[in-house]
């Protein structure tokens, strides 16, 4: 007769012939089932995972002191605070303020005057695109019963007033399907928002640079590269990014779409814990690790080319930085789902389409300052 487990935990009798339990212990918040496996690790974890999740536990098969052990830990979702997420709220409000402050510069108004309200469209565009991206991850995480936080916006007094937004996911990934759906949902949702924002921005009237700013010796000129996707939208609408009068500039709302597309490309880099790394891992399985060195190599090479050949220092710095970041991200490895069976053809096709859309968001020279 198998030993008994706590009332709120799975009974060893429910494991069938997959894991023959001879002892159950409770140590440091973990529930340990010592026994003999009746199948390989992947099969045992895949088949017993739903049972443990039903009781509020994550589970993994490992070795402890020379014995095979199923280690059950309370799922983070059970401990999630259901109160007001004050940290998320505070960061959201701070990012609203920072994007509004920076946006005032795009409209050439005093950020400390009532005229700052003119920058609200810019703020809504930027935060709407970034928020939609993260909410795509959040909604799909909830769909697959993966514990995830609400988005954390990151305020920063940069060119756009923010360094983006992130969500945190806890616990193991149940399947390749879940890994793909969660990974792809963010870029696809954010890209839809970026397209909508771009269309709105392109049809809005341009802004005029005040003579005092245009003629100032200390003025910094910012040149943006535009990805193929954004150029295609402008071509369909019959709109333009440059005007005969150098003091006329595209409506700042367009920059919300530009940011969304640039963020989409960066997130779809197929390495480590980035969205692209999740999608690639779900598409090709464990062989995804072979591609890890290629991404930072390509980015560093692009940065070196722009620095040495094109003399595009600002743009080169962007890719050199991301080459280093991609190297660091690759060290974290990829997510290993509990159920590692291949994706269906529909998801494979959508994965390929997602990477193609990401490529349409690529800009060799995103920004140049002069």
Model pLDDT for residues 202-232, shown as the tens digit of each residue:
999 999 888 766 566 666 677 889 999 999 9
User: In the beta sheet, which residues pair with residue 23?
Assistant: 34
Task: Give this prediction's pTM.
Answer: 0.87
| Cβ atoms 226, 240 nearer than 8 A | no
Neighbours of 46 (CB within 10 A): 19
Q: What is the mean pLDDT of residues 192-197?
A: 97
Tens digits of per-residue pLDDT, 59-90? 889 998 889 999 988 876 444 455 788 999 99
What's the CA gap between 235 and 223, in Å, rounded? 20
Q: What angle do CA 94, 99, 102 make, to 5 degrees?
A: 125
Q: So what's the architecture of 12-74 in CATH?
A: 2-Layer Sandwich (3.30)
In this prediction, residue 77 carries a pLDDT of 44
Q: Where are the domains of the chain?
A: 12-74, 86-292+333-369
Tens digits of per-residue pLDDT, 109-124? 999 999 999 999 999 9
Q: DSSP string covering 73-102, please?
A: EE-GGGG---S--HHHHHHHHHHHHHHHHH
| Cβ atoms 18, 39 nearer than 8 A | yes
Would you say residue 97 has pLDDT above 80?
Answer: yes
The alpha-carbon radius of gyration of the chain (Å, integer) is 25
Tens digits of per-residue pLDDT, 137-179? 999 999 998 889 999 999 988 889 998 999 988 878 999 999 9
């Amino acid at each position: 007769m198998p030993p008994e487990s706590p009332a709120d935990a799975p009974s060893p009798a429910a494991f069938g012939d997959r894991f023959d339990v001879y002892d159950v212990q409770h140590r440091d918040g973990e529930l340990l089932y010592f026994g003999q496996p009746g199948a390989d690790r992947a099969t045992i974890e895949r088949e017993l995972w739903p049972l443990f999740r039903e009781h509020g536990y994550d589970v993994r098969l490992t070795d402890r002191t020379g014995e095979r052990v199923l280690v059950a830990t309370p799922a983070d979702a059970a401990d999630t605070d259901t109160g007001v997420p004050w940290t998320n709220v505070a960061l959201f409000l701070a990012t609203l303020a920072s994007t509004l402050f920076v946006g005032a510069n795009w409209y050439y108004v005093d950020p400390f005057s009532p005229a700052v309200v003119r920058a609200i469209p810019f703020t809504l565009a930027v935060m709407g695109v970034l928020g939609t991206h993260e909410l795509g991850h959040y909604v799909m995480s909830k769909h697959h019963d993966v514990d995830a936080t609400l988005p954390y916006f990151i305020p920063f007094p940069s060119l756009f007033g923010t360094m983006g937004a992130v969500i945190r996911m806890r616990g193991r990934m149940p399947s390749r399907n879940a890994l793909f759906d969660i990974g792809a949902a963010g870029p696809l949702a954010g890209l839809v928002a970026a397209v909508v924002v771009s269309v709105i921005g392109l049809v809005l009237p341009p802004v005029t640079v005040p003579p005092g700013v245009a003629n100032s010796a200390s003025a910094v000129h910012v040149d943006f590269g535009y990805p193929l996707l954004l150029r295609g939208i402008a071509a369909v609408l019959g709109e333009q990014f440059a005007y005969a009068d150098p003091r006329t500039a595209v409506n700042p709302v367009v920059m919300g779409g530009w940011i969304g597309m640039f963020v989409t490309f960066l997130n779809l880099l197929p390495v480590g814990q980035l969205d692209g790394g999740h999608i690639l891992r779900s598409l090709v399985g464990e062989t995804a690790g072979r591609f890890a060195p290629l991404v930072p190599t390509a980015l560093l090479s692009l940065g070196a080319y722009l620095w040495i050949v094109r003399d595009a220092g600002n743009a080169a710095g962007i890719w050199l930085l991301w080459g280093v970041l991609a190297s660091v991200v690759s060290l974290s490895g990829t997510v290993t789902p509990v159920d590692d069976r291949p994706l269906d053809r529909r998801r494979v096709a959508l994965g390929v389409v997602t990477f193609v859309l990401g490529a349409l968001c690529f800009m060799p020279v995103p920004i140049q300052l002069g």
